[in-house]
Amino acid sequence: MPPPEKKCKRQSATIFICAEVLLNIFRCLGHAELGLKIALISCRFNALVDKHFGDNRKWTLGWLEIRSSEDGTDAAELFKKNEYGNFIQLPFPQRASPDNIIGFERIFINTFSRRTSH
């Protein structure tokens, strides 16, 4: 008996819905809008399947906030919201993030320069 992961992968490969069926079901949407909606659903479903069945898990960074430094300089600080709702300060990355980090849930940018140009 094959493991559940392999069985699910085999079954999902056989599911096919032609465009005419989708256009008949969602008559209120135009061709382009329907294509975008289906693409978003497909992308989210693929991410969910990868998370549960794949070895290459993809991660989001959750809530990030970039704010002005509290020491009065024009520097910025990076914070991440943890599972308890508190923001913890992180260093700014010095190189590109790994491929399995695909984004963030929310990002707040709350910074401004205290300098004025004349």
Q: How many CB atoms within 10 Å of residue 52?
A: 10
Contact 51, 57 (CB under 8 A): yes
- Number of residues that this document lists for the chain: 118
More confident residue, 74 or 107: 107
Contact 68, 76 (CB under 8 A): yes
Instruction: For 45-90, write each residue's pLDDT tens digit.
Output: 666 666 666 656 667 778 888 888 877 677 788 888 888 888 888 8
pLDDT category of residue 106 using cuts at 50, 70 and 90? confident
Residue 109 pLDDT > 70, yes or no?
yes
- In the block, tokens 């256009």 appear at 23
Helices H, strands E: what count in the chain?
Answer: 3, 6
pTM exceeds 0.75: no
Instruction: For 2-27, write each residue's pLDDT tens digit.
Output: 555 555 454 555 556 666 666 677 67
Contact 80, 64 (CB under 8 A): yes
> Which tokens sit at 51?
């998370």
What is the rounded average pLDDT of the residues 33-48? 69
